[in-house]
Amino acid sequence: MDQKDTEMNEKGITSSTSGVVVQVREKKGPLRAAIPYMPFPVAVICLFLNTFVPGLGTFVSAFTVLCGARTDLPNRHMCCVFWLNIAAAFIQILTAVVMVGWIMSIFWGMDMVIMAISKGYRDQGIPQQL
């Protein structure tokens, strides 16, 4: 073991040769967890809408929940998740005047696309036909 590995082990960090697997889970708040897993093309459209009209893509994504899109809130009723998405869109629209809502809206759209790529419909076993 060389100097670098010894320093890493002293700090509580294991070296790559020890075979330790670290799993990281992101803790999301209720608004972030309410973002639905959509098909990739729909997520890209929502990102596009959120980029040019803050909150519009989030508003559209709320209706995908009513159409059966899943979220990270499995214990909540569909209507509750729908209203959480409407609330997020409303917050984005209201705070767009001071640029906060616009930035939040763009990040929301990017999260939709990332979720569509990473988990999306592939993990749900739902065919990707529209």
List average pLDDT for each run of 10 residues in the chain, which is 130 residues long. 50 61 80 90 94 93 91 86 93 92 93 85 51
Predicted pLDDT at 26: 74
For residue 97, what is the DSSP state?
G
Predicted pLDDT at 41: 93
- Alpha helix locations (H) across 11-129? 30-33, 40-52, 56-66, 78-95, 100-118, 120-124
* Of the candidates 53, 43, 44, the residue with the CA atom closest to the CA atom of residue 105: 53
